[in-house]
Amino acid sequence: MNELLTSPFFGLMLTTAAYAAGVKIQKKTGLVVCNGLVLAALMIIALLLAFRIPYESYNAGGSLINLMLSPATVCFAVTIYRRLEVLKKNLLPVLAGCAAGAVASVASVWALSHLFGLNRTLMMSLLPKSVTTPIATALAQENGGIIAITAVSVIFTGILGNLSAPLLVRLLRVKEPVEAGVGIGACSHAIGTAKAMELGATEGALSSVAIGLCGILTTILALLFPLLP
């Protein structure tokens, strides 16, 4: 049994099985709250706690999935290429939207951190929450943040965007696919983009563009992080 738990295949297979089960439940119930990713995370946590399996044993295989995150994000380029003409026609609005999204994300975390009295370490951990994990963790580490908190905040932000995006699009009466795509990608990176792709090809493509642009813009804004009070 110990050999099974210490094998990288344990974490890999557990993650795959939990996600498959979560997606199946989501399709059967049709409920927004029954998000496949959320259910998978809850099932994995419950199993590790119930059988007292060390996180290190699980992460030996689970970390292999993290290695696939960057290549998977790069694959969004295919969707962007297919909607290249739409991007060219809306280049300036897309740039403006991504810039506004990056600034709003950083400014809101800074303001809320001061409002709730968070220390500087926590603030630096949360500032890059709206960009993809590799960029966010690198920025947090460079500025004295806690990587684990950054990773959790990035995942939570993505899941929240994935769950709320369709509702917000309807409530705010967003009719233009470009606007919806940029908004989703700027706020909730790859996890939100997965939902944007369900809404439409244009939404998915522009959300993919927003991931990269907001990552670049947030990295530039990070130069000002040490100067923040």
Return the structure tokens found at 138.
């690198």
Q: How far is CA 34 from CA 21, 39, 154, 220, in A?
A: 11, 7, 19, 36
CB burial of residue 74 (10 Å; 0-12, 13-18, 19+): exposed
Q: What is the pLDDT of residue 70?
A: 66
pLDDT tens-place values along the chain, 229 residues long: 566 666 778 888 888 899 899 989 988 887 777 878 888 989 999 998 998 888 888 877 767 776 776 676 677 777 777 788 888 899 999 999 999 999 999 999 999 999 999 999 999 999 999 998 888 989 999 999 998 899 889 988 998 898 888 889 999 999 899 999 999 999 888 888 888 988 898 998 899 899 889 999 999 999 999 888 8
Backbone angles phi, psi at 168, to 5 degrees: -65, -35
Task: Indicate the DSSP class of residue 226.
Answer: G
Q: Which amino acid is at 101?
A: G
pTM confidence score: 0.79
